[in-house]
């Protein structure tokens, strides 16, 4: 029995109920969530899908600590087609280096996806945040290949009513309950799914991260993003 315990406790033994052992990711900044994610953070070179129960339940706040870490390290973070304009003072207050934040508002779905793929292929990007509900499987695979080739994280925000099959390495559902943000892991590398993680994001930032009454004028981007990101 003792020898069996020794084998099971060996660091080279992976159990089906555990997270997969992968390269370290970018910490979410929330230890309770990192503890349940393979690589202890947002996966690098892969797609993460976030399904929000409704806009504003904390889905964007989840990404702010990672955006701060990446931009402070000199990496670009590209934000594509957000529903509202990010509130720059709040982002800066939480450590995001605004000079390394690129906001793109193309409009049409095909332009959003095109911009996302170009940003992923620019190796100077640390992460791409893209809002797009409906994405054809073929387009998802193109995004996955682009993220993998550049070792960049793609975080794809989608409505909770859209949950098709996807090659995403990580899928999260975000909702609110009793004033807190509830993160449910729908898919991760490795076996088993943990119970929902409850986070108090109000303690993280009480300031809104977007301005609801300040829409961006539509503009279609049709030029190499690599030049803008250099």
Residue of higher predicted confidence among 206 and 169? 169
| Global confidence as pTM | 0.81
Check if the beta carbon of residue 66 is closer than 8 Å to that of residue 90. no
DSSP class of 118: H
Strand, helix or coil for residue 211: strand
Check the CA dihedral 46-17-198-177 and report its sign: positive
Which residues have CB under 8 Å from 16's CB, separation 6+? 190, 191, 192
The per-residue pLDDT for range 80-125, each reduced to its tens digit, is 999 988 889 999 999 999 999 999 988 799 999 999 999 999 888 9
Check if the beta carbon of residue 116 is closer than 8 Å to that of residue 154. yes
Which residues have CB under 8 Å from 61's CB, separation 6+? 181, 201, 204, 205, 209
Binned at pLDDT 50, 70 and 90, residue 190 comes out as confident
Which residues have CB under 8 Å from 52's CB, separation 6+? 59, 157, 158, 159, 160, 174, 175
> Residue 217 pLDDT > 60, yes or no?
no
Check if the beta carbon of residue 97 is closer than 8 Å to that of residue 47. no
């Amino acid at each position: 029995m003792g020898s069996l315990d020794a084998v099971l406790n060996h660091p080279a033994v992976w159990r089906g109920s555990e997270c997969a052992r992968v390269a370290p990711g970018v910490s979410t900044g929330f230890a309770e969530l990192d503890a349940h994610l393979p690589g202890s953070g947002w996966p690098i070179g892969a797609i993460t899908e976030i399904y929000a129960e409704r806009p504003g339940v904390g889905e964007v706040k989840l990404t702010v600590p990672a955006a701060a870490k990446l931009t402070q390290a000199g990496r670009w973070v590209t934000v594509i087609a957000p529903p509202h304009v990010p509130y720059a003072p709040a982002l800066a207050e939480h450590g995001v280096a605004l000079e390394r934040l690129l906001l793109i508002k193309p409009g049409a779905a095909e332009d959003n996806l095109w911009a996302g793929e170009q940003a992923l292929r620019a190796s100077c990007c640390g992460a791409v945040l893209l809002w797009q509900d409906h994405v054809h499987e073929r387009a998802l695979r193109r995004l996955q290949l682009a993220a993998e080739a550049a070792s960049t994280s793609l975080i794809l925000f989608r409505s909770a009513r859209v949950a098709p099959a996807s090659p995403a390495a990580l899928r999260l559902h975000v909702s609110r309950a009793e004033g807190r943000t509830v993160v449910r892991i729908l898919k991760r590398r490795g076996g088993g799914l943990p119970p929902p993680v409850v986070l108090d994001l109000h303690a993280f930032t009480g300031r809104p991260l977007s301005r609801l009454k300040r829409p961006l004028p539509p503009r279609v981007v049709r030029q190499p993003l690599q030049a803008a990101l250099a």
